[in-house]
Amino acid sequence: MIDLSSYKAIIFDMDGTLVDSMGAHIDAWQLTCDAFDYPFDRDYQYSLGGVPTFETVHLMNAKYGKSHDPAKVALYKKQAFEGLDHVPRLIQDTLDVFNHYKGSVPIAVGTGSDRQHAQMVLNEHGLLAQLSALVTADDVSKGKPHPETFLRAAELMGVAPQHCVVFEDTDMGRKAAVDGGMACFMVDNTRLIY
């Protein structure tokens, strides 16, 4: 088991880190790109994991020279995701860390997903009630790679950022953690790297 005894709190990203749902999100983005005539690039979409949907639309508009309404695109993507026959499973490596440290240090989830979706996924797996804090795209004005998500989670847990450790699966998430003054461990294709 990874030794986190030098930290006072743990923050997990959700999609791709604690819950194996990135594939379904990418599939929903593919449907959305097709509907709004964006070129679909699987690697690019994956690199935006953890970035709130509205911000992803702004980035895609800029990259591809489009001017689609972020609210319309975000709604379409949400509905596409919900229409997929997908029940995300937990990622064993990070679940083991969660279970090992729960009860001994506060644990939060900091996600780019909206609150309704995050609560549904976490509740489905019995994790929501075990969290000290949940920060979603609905709770911040700047999503990842800005550190606000993780800083807000640290604040809600009452722990200084430098005493928090983050688990993430994207470079955008890692940048958010590091820029927030936190240590970060990475998850690569459902495997914890340390």
Assess whether 13 carries a catalytic annotation.
Answer: yes
Q: How many C-beta atoms surround the C-beta of residue 114 within 10 A?
A: 18
Q: Letter for the amino acid at 35?
A: A
Per DSSP, 146 falls in state S
Can you tell me which residue has the tokens 């509905």?
A: 79
Q: Which residues pair with 11 in a beta bridge?
A: 108, 166
Q: Which of 13, 114, 139, 169 is catalytic?
A: 13
133-137 own/partner pairs: CB under 8 Å, 24+ apart: 133/106, 133/108, 133/109, 133/157, 134/108, 134/109, 135/108, 135/109, 135/110, 135/111, 136/111, 136/112, 137/52, 137/53, 137/54, 137/111, 137/112, 137/113
Closest among 156, 116, 117 to 133, alpha carbons compared: 156
**CA 97 to chain CA centroid, nearest Å:** 17
Per DSSP, 15 falls in state B
Show which residues are catalytic.
Answer: 13
